[in-house]
Amino acid sequence: MSGLGDGLRELRAPGEDEARRRAWETASAAVPPADTAARSRRRAVLATAAAVVAAAGISVAAVSPAGSAVTDWVGDAVRDVVQEDPPPRAAELGELPGGGRVLVLSGAPVAEPVPVHGSSWIAGDAGPERLLGAVREATWSPGGRFVAATRGSELIAVDLRGRRRWSASADGEVGGPRWSPDGFRVAYLVAGGRELRVLAGDGQDDRRLTTDVHPVAPAWRPNVVRHTLAFARERRVVVLDADTGAVAYRAPAPRKLTGLAFSPDGQRLLLAGRRELRILHARSYPGTKVRAGSIFARYFAPADNRYEQALWSRGGQRVAVVRRTGRRSEVILLDGRSPQTRPRRLFAAGELGELAFSPDGRWLLVDWRETGGWLFLPLDGGRARQIADVDQHFAGDGDTRLVGWCCPPSG
Amino acid sequence: MASSATAGGFSRVARSRAAVSARSERVLVRAAQGGDAAAVEALFRMHWPAAYRAAWFVVRDAQAAEDIAQEAFLAALAALDRFDRRRPLGPWLRTIVARRSIDALRARALRREVADDALAMAPAPERDDPCAGLDALAAVLAGLSDDQRTVVVLRHVLELTPGEIAQVTGLPRGTVNSRLRRGLDALEAWGRATREEAAR
């Protein structure tokens, strides 16, 4: 029977190698310095130490709990990654690089009776399929089996055939719907933030969570036991347990906040503002001074620049950003785990829209509004791909807006 | 009272860390206390894998396991400068892992009750089966009841003694031994069935 004992001791757990790598990155940063003064100190410095990388006028600053050196990020000397030649290869909506399905809103906005965008569509291996009309916002469920959309004061969940599964009505216009990672909760805003509400994944138990929130879609934290939700109040982000209402922490937020997003591993929280991207620690590290809500990194847009999109990659290693200067936009990749790493510029053009990572994490979809097409940028080398004239695929409604790119549904 | 020898002829557990003497760990701890990064890495390689594996097999959640193992190791690093080198680091760290894994498991069990009552008609959660892709023994272990799986993991992955398990879990020593026996019986029954199948 010693064989069973040996077998148990030698068992490997799923994801062990990646987890070990991440754990060592964190642990190695916490090694106390090898000097007498350091040995006498009891605190440990965790996460990345304060660093300023100055190269050709570029600075990216990481903030540590022990102190910070925050500088502007000029961005003029980031490395180009995607070459303009050869030109992108054509792709088809029915055969997306990286697979999966994209969710789009298509149709010119209608002002009456309440502003609606148009129709929600999905496009994947079966080609474009219309789901629901007269909606303003839409979002994927975590596994890509449902879509939640807003229509005036109504929140509607449909399956991939457009069949209504449930709906909820509110006392005001509904916005910012977000499904929890386990599928058991949906959070949404009412009347531009007058209320933040939560209901169950089947549309039941609709209740108000809090009031007077900033009109930015809330964000659920992945990979935690509790239903942990982040939302914004004026100049602050609040993270709480959506089931009990217990507040975990509050932290200052950048001005003109436009988005909140936890990293896929739940370790960090991205606060996206027009002029600043701020990444917070989403958890505390016992035995150190790192607390949930403390700053991990800050990125400042240079003068006359603003951030328009910011999105975690599938694995949380990177953050894709659209930064705009006048009529010119750039797609830039930040290292979401190592702020000292120089950003990479993937693409530059005129007007750019939304971003989405492929389900396999190998492609970045850029809504190239200037041309009316979609550009698929390979993140591991290779040739870019392009779908021209996207609008004509969605009944020619025009003004197609990318919402999200999800996995193929299971079953 | 049952000793650490369990039913079914499972002989005394051989500590996997016998090869790493207590003396060598003391050397590493002393070096790590002096800021030797290589020593810290050696301690990490020595202790982190079992911490992560134990946490994973108790809570069956990769992120929770990663948090638990990381917190335990970081707590060890934070306490290095005051750690008494006459005591071994491993058991102290493993006890932290055990306590936090059990706490996480209990918290998840509570959440499932609430979720089931309130969301009977909810769409099925769209999360991958955490046991997908495990090898056969790991899958059988992961399929044991929480009670049995926890004590089996604490005993044979973290190598805590039954007395230490009783202390960490708050259970009577006899309960620990009986759960351990039932868990190992289930694993041994699976092993016999597998061998019989292979012999056909």
Is the full-model pTM beyond 0.80? no
Residues of B in contact with A100 (CB under 8 A): none
Residues in chain B closer than 8 A to A1 (CB atoms): 8-11, 188
Answer yes or no: do A145 and B138 touch at CB < 8 A.
no
**Residue A66: pLDDT over 60:** no
A335-377 per-position pLDDT tens digit: 888 777 788 888 888 889 999 999 988 999 999 888 888 999 9
Residue A52 CB-half CA count within 13 A:
13
Give the pLDDT band of residue B11 (cuts 50, 70, 90). Answer: very low
- Do B37 and A265 count as a contact with CB atoms less than 8 A apart? no
Residue listed under structure tokens 């998840």: B108
CA distance A407 to A124: 10
Q: Residue A43's Cα: distance from chain center in Å?
A: 33
Share of chain A above pLDDT 70, in %: 77
Q: What confidence tier does A129 reach under pLDDT thresholds 50, 70, 90?
A: confident
To the nearest 10 degrees (0 to 180), the angle between helices B173-199 and B136-143 is: 140
A135-139, A143-147, B7-11, B165-169: least confident range:
B7-11
Min distance A1 CA to chain B CA atoms (Å): 5
What are the start-end ranges of the H helices in A64-161?
none
Cβ–Cβ under 8 Å, residues B149 and B58: yes
Cα–Cα nearest to A319, from A249, A272, A383 = A272
R_g (Cα) of chain B, nearest Å: 19
Q: What is the pLDDT of residue B65?
A: 87
- Most B CBs within 10 A among A21, A22, A25, A31, hence the mutation to make, goes to A31
A38 contacts on B by Cβ (under 8 Å): 35
Report, as an integer, the average pLDDT of A277-306.
Answer: 88
Tell me the residue type at B147: D
| Whole-number Å distance between alpha carbons of A83 and A381 | 11
User: Smallest Cα–Cα separation from A122: which of A402, A309, A369?
Assistant: A402
Which chain B residue shows the shortest CA-CA distance from A411? Answer: B126
Strongest mean pLDDT among A286-295, A306-315, B90-99 = A306-315
Q: What's the confidence (pLDDT) of residue A396?
A: 55
Higher pLDDT, A40 or B36: B36
Neighboring chain B residues of A285 at a CB cutoff of 8 Å: 70-71, 74
When pLDDT is averaged across residues A382-401 and rounded to a whole number, the result is 77
User: Distance (Å) from the C-alpha of residue A339 to the closest C-alpha of chain B?
Assistant: 21
Cα–Cα distance for residue pair A286/A284, rounded to 1 Å: 6
Residue of B nearest to A7 (CA): B137
Q: Which residues of chain B lie closer than 8 angstroms to A29, CB-CB?
A: none
B61 contacts A7? CB cut-off 8 A: no
Structure tokens at B176: 């620990």
Contact assignment for B138 to A13 by CB distance below 8 Å? yes
Q: What is the mean pLDDT of residues B166-178?
A: 91
Q: For the residues A216-229, what does the mean pLDDT come to?
A: 92
- Contact criterion met (CB < 8 Å) for B74 and A285: yes
Q: For A225, which residue in chain B has the nearest alpha carbon?
A: B108
